[in-house]
A and B are shown apart, each in its own frame.
Chain A
Amino acid sequence: MNFNTISALVLRYLFLYTRTPMRMVELVFWPVVDLVVWGNVTVFIQKNTNPEFGSFVLFFLGGMILWDILFRAQQGVAISFLEDVWTRNLLNVFVAPVRTFEYVGATFIVGFLRILVTAVVLGLISWVGYSYNIFSLHWWLIPFFANLMLFGWSLGMISTALILRWGQAAESLAWAIPFFFQPAVAVFYPVEDMPAWSQPIAWSFPPTYIFEGMREVMKTGTMNWNYLWYSAALNVVYLALAGGLFAWILNLTRKRGLLTKFATQ
């Protein structure tokens, strides 16, 4: 065994961390997300010692399935874009008569189709394997689904804009960005069980209202309409901001002449 060879290879991987700070962020990012999510879940469980709590544990399955809807919608946008980067097809698309909103619109549709597949598969498995029927949310499932998808699209545009700005070094953002929001949007625990300082932050994101609404429907069979309106209104704001950011960064990339470099790398 040649230790020089091993040290040279170790050096090669360490160089990567110094050249692309995004990798350092990743080192810290995922453990912190896990810690915050499971820390809040633990607090939630500790506070609920009554015997009925067992039946509410299905919240976790519902939360997980609805979270995946958001995640797949975001992936539909970001991964579709990355597919064009990985296959060196981006330039072909940008020199074809394709308007920016047409390109983004196509990725939205891909996101929607991905959601359908995921929702059906997860719904079936959770029903057969864990006696949890996602359709117990009844017709509320449709506005839940729509609002989560809209926020997923916004995150997809933000991820794509950041990848456009920082190039392939920022590719991991395509997977990381939704999880940046996960601890804050109360997927697995109610907002009231989150630390007080983080609650106003939670209410500033549209999915929080959906996850709270899901728990309310599962608990009481009724839904607070205000949750849906707040979520929809916030989604409009986030979509507009994300669309604006994407268009601005795309234009900036053109101005700096980075688009072709990025598209052919």
Chain B
Amino acid sequence: MSAAPPDTREVILEARELTREFDGVKALDRFSFKLHRGEVLGLLGANGAGKTTAMNCLLGLTLPTGGDLFAFGLPLHQHRIKILQRSNFSSAYTALPGNLLVRQNLIVFARIYGLKEPKKKIAELMELLEITHLADRVTGQLSAGESTRVNLVKAFLNDPELLMLDEPTASLDPDIADKVRKVVRKVQKERNIGILYTSHNMRDIEEVCDRVIFLHKGKIVCEGTPTDIVAQSSSATLEDVFIKIARDGEVIDEPAKQP
């Protein structure tokens, strides 16, 4: 695979030799990457490949056993709060409290992020995600698609420069998944956000991600744009690449390295 030209945009998230062991088993093994401002980077791999561990380390929820993490040029663990003020996160596996109204949940997080005009911001984002009508609904009674969009409103509340999305389209029907992808891409482009994106849905990856990293047993096995990876593999689609990596741990002779 030919090397891409160096990306001159600001690096907003960087892992250097990130390692995480659980009882002697390496879930992440000297994992290094850079995410640039305005870039959507997909983190792919089969279950157990190390994506979730990586995401948890990047969010400061799990402490790495080796390596360093930086966001906006600052060491993550020393400047966690400062970094979290400029970042946000959404996952299909977390929820906002189901016993509160959507509006109440969003007001709580708007206050946590110190928004000056929380109601205005919430109204704007709800309109953008086409969920204004859900404001007074009980959060726990929303459908999966509605819930995902409410989570995204929460994730965009503080105008994050860095956003981590963990399988945002999991359990959504193709129509809603498509809407979610489009809105993520739209907001990302408008606001020049750097996004770290995990998904098992290859359509998501092809539509949303500028660049992807394939992980296998905690190590990077392949890295590049989705088109380049498919073109330089023996597979016809990104999904085939995924399956090949999941089963064989490799896809091409020589993994492309980030410049």
Contacts and interface: CB of A to CB of B under 8 A. Distances in A.
Contacts of B109: 92, 96
Interface in B80-122: 81-82, 84-85, 88-89, 91, 93-99, 109, 112-113
Interface stretch (B51-59, B125-133, B168-176, B242-250): B51-59
B95 A260 contact: no
Contact of B98 (A87, A96, A257, A264): A87
A97 B113 contact: yes
Tell me the dominant secondary structure on chain A's binding face. Answer: helix
A257 B59 contact: no
A257 B56 contact: yes
B95 A87 contact: yes
Contact of A87 (B20, B56, B99): B99
Nearest to A93: B112
A95 B63 contact: no
A233 B82 CA distance: 36
Contacts of A87: 95-99, 140
A83 B100 CA distance: 11
A94 B63 contact: no
A89 B61 contact: no
A257 B22 contact: yes
Interface in A233-265: 254-255, 257, 259-260, 263-264
Size category of the binding interface on chain B: 20 to 34
B20 A95 contact: no
Interface in B43-75: 52-53, 56, 59-63
Contacts of B56: 257, 259-260
B31 to A, nearest CB: 15
A234 B60 CA distance: 35
A88 interface: yes
A255 B63 CA distance: 5
Contacts of A97: 81-82, 84-85, 112-113
A92 B154 contact: yes
Interface in B24-58: 52-53, 56
B63 A254 contact: yes
Given A254-B63, A260-B61, A260-B62, A98 B95 contact: no
A95 B84 contact: yes
Interface in A81-125: 83-84, 87-89, 91-92, 94-99
Contact of A89 (B59, B95, B113): B95
A81 to B, nearest CB: 13
A88 B22 contact: no
Given A96-B109, A260-B56, A91 B63 contact: no
Q: Which of A83, A260, A263, A264: most chain B Cβ within 10 A?
A: A260
A97 B85 CA distance: 6
Q: Which of A83, A96, A255 has the most CB of B within 10 A?
A: A96
Contact of B61 (A83, A88, A99, A259): A259
Interface of A: 83-84, 87-89, 91-92, 94-99, 254-255, 257, 259-260, 263-264
The 4 nearest A-B residue pairs measured at CB: A87-B97, A257-B62, A97-B84, A91-B94
30 contacts: A83-B97, A87-B96, A87-B98, A88-B94, A88-B95, A89-B94, A89-B97, A91-B89, A91-B93, A92-B109, A94-B60, A95-B61, A96-B109, A97-B112, A97-B113, A98-B112, A99-B81, A254-B60, A254-B62, A257-B22, A257-B56, A257-B61, A257-B62, A257-B63, A259-B56, A259-B62, A260-B56, A260-B62, A263-B61, A264-B94
